[in-house]
Amino acid sequence: MSDSEIVFQEDLDEPQIHVAEDGFSRVYRLGVTKGLLNKKLTQEILEYKDRFNIPGFRKGKAPLSVILNRVPEKEKEEFLQRYVSEQIQEHLHDSDKIVIGTPEIDTDYANETDMVAKISVSYEVSPEVKDLDYDKYSILKFVPEDREKLLEKIRQDFLAANPEKVTQDKDYKSEIGDYLMVDMTIVAPGTSADGYIDKAREVLVEESSSIYDVRFNSIGLVKDEEFTIESELPSFYDGFEEAGKPCKFHFKIAEVLKSNIIDEPTMEMAKKFGFQSVEELDVELLNRKLQQFESISAHLMTDQFGLKMEKELDFDVPKKVLNSTMENLWFEEYKDDTKSETTNPEEDDEKNEKVAKNIENGETGDGLSEQNDEDSSNNDTNEAPKRVDWDTIDAEKVTEIRNLALNQVRYMILLKNIAKKEDIKATREEIVDEWAVMLARYNQSPHINMEELRSRIKYEDIPDYFALSSQNKIVSYKVEQFIMGKVGTTERKVSFEKLMEIRQMERDKLIAFMESDHTDHESEPEKD
């Protein structure tokens, strides 16, 4: 049904809804009259009528008509937008179909007529995937090949990243790879930099080391050695309009530290990182690597499951979601060259930081509603998102992007169908927890109390876009955990390096790897 065929009546005080269907595409249209707006606003006022203190009336005794007339237009507009948002969410959540992709919302608030709002929501629904039989699948579960060998590898990586710096005798001359502790003084009469001192500055000894862009030969230096280099003031003095003026850098070597990679962790090193013994340090290092190993292994298991099911099950993919995923992949790969004109991460960061501060000050309602207003206003812009002109791109590249997008969409459809079949959902509490974590990340206070922050957040105040993305994230994780508990597994021992290699395999190679004969390396299948 086209827009021209839709007729909204202007005198009804009930929401007017039209839903158009075309394959996987849906268009939900909502009409709101002034009569409906006043009716819903009156219902809300009735809940708080006793709190109103209107001059000329006893508290809570003013007639509804008087209270309604005193509601500012801005408050009415905010109430209308909130009501419309609730109607949209209710429709999307209560639909018997699975909504996929990001709905596009077209808003038209026309106050000059009795029809104060006309909303159009375009989205796509998932195909129904049948024959979801988990028990017939068996997938590889990767486990560490040798814990002792893995621990030794972890030790060497850790020691290489945390070298011991040993103070040398006074007569020891610096070599490449050592570190110098340098005291520096700037001599620049008549400038603000004159007399500037930088003590205990650490410099890595290289062929030509530098400090503040001043280069000097740092090989063969000894403790207490002093020397002066004539140069110019570096660029950070341009605020004083003095950059480039002649000056002298006077250096004194405070210490020469030899960088020495030790063969085994020491008690001193263990204590440096907060452990009472070398054994405690070993256990912590091993546990961290094992957690990383298990995380990658679980990810590969869900990938295998998805690939096997995709290969056996036949279902179509909604074109709009596929095209959108292709564009996202393209912009992600070439984000430095081509970006969506409607995307501004810096503005988003500023918004989130502002919201976090409001939350910390207890201003949850105003701060979040303001952000919602800004987000909703973006839907009224005349600027369309930047699109990819696939005709101008190499055909092989387009095919590669399309195949990647197809895999992602098919996997997403599988997860959503499993979630529906098994009634796996994200609770409001879980979404609020996600929002609290996000706000804490942007909060400026290092002493933020998560429980207190969590108690200040209302689910209704969370922006729709965040609630939707969090819901998808939480449900996907729950479905993947459900899959791990349902499918059969065959264990295979691999090294950490081999696991990383498998992780990088292309789709076709991974399928071939899973279907090849590994009986010499595998134990008997078992249920998780």
Give the chain's domains with CATH numbers: 3-125 (3.30.70.1050), 164-260 (3.10.50.40), 278-379+394-527 (no CATH)
**H or E stretch at 228:** strand 226-232
Q: What is d(CA 224, CA 170) in angstroms, rounded to the nearest whole number? A: 8
Per-residue pLDDT, 254: 93
User: If we measure between CA atoms, which residue out of 316, 338, 336, 318 comes closest to residue 390?
Assistant: 338
Is the CB of residue 426 less than 8 Å from the CB of residue 471?
yes
Instruction: Mark the ranges of the chain whose per-residue pLDDT is less than 70.
Output: 1-13, 48-53, 56, 60, 95, 110-114, 236-240, 335-386, 443-448, 517-528
User: If we measure between CA atoms, which residue out of 245, 220, 215 comes closest to residue 168?
Assistant: 220
Q: What is d(CA 97, CA 43) in angstroms, rounded to the nearest whole number? A: 31
Per-residue pLDDT, 51: 65
Is the CB of residue 360 less than 8 Å from the CB of residue 453?
yes
DSSP bridge pairs for 18? 29
Residues sharing a CB contact under 8 Å with residue 337, sequence separation 6 or more, in sequence order: none
User: If we measure between CA atoms, which residue out of 522, 423, 407 comes closest to residue 479?
Assistant: 423
Three-state DSSP class for 339? Answer: coil
Per-residue pLDDT, 223: 93
Query: Which stretches within 313-380 are classed as H helix?
Result: 319-333, 345-360, 364-377
Per-residue pLDDT, 255: 92
Three-state DSSP class for 15? Answer: coil
Q: What is d(CA 169, CA 191) in angstroms, rounded to the nearest whole number? A: 38
Q: What value, to the nearest 5°, has the Cα angle with vertex 449 and ends 446 and 455?
A: 145
Residue type, 136: K
DSSP string for 47-116: HTGGG---TTS-TT-S-HHHHHHHS-HHHHHHHHHHHHHHHHHHHHHH-SSPEEEEEEEEEE--TTSSEE
